[in-house]
Amino acid sequence: MSAFLLTFAQFFIIALNLLVLGRVIVSWVDPQGRNDLSRMLISITEPMLAPIRRLLPQTGMIDFSPLILLLVTGVLLQLLRT
C-alpha cells in the first residue's frame, strides 16, 4: 500500500508542476484569463501561488511565485524518490 501512496504523491507533484508551467505559458498569451483554459489553470493554481506571492517582495511585473512553487515541488519530488 505504501508503494501506491508514494506513486500517487509523485504523480500529484508532477501534475501540479505541469499545471503551474501551463499557467506560466498561458499568462504570456492570455494574461487576463479570457479563455476557458486560462480560467481553469488560474483557478487551480491560484490557491497555491497566492500565499507565496504574499510572502515575496514586490518585483514589478515579474512574478516569481511559480518559480518558488516549482522549486519546492521539485525538492519534494526528490525527497520522495530517495
Ranges of each domain in the chain: 2-81
Q: Please say whether the dihedral angle defined by the alpha carbons of residues 65, 66, 67 and 69, taken in this order, is positive or negative.
A: positive
From first to last of the 82 residues of the chain, give the pLDDT tens digit: 589 999 999 999 999 999 999 999 999 998 888 999 999 999 999 999 999 999 999 888 889 999 999 999 999 999 998 8
Taking the whole predicted model, whether its pTM rises above 0.75 is answered as yes
pLDDT of residue 31: 83
Q: Are the C-beta atoms of 24 and 66 separated by less than 8 Å?
A: yes
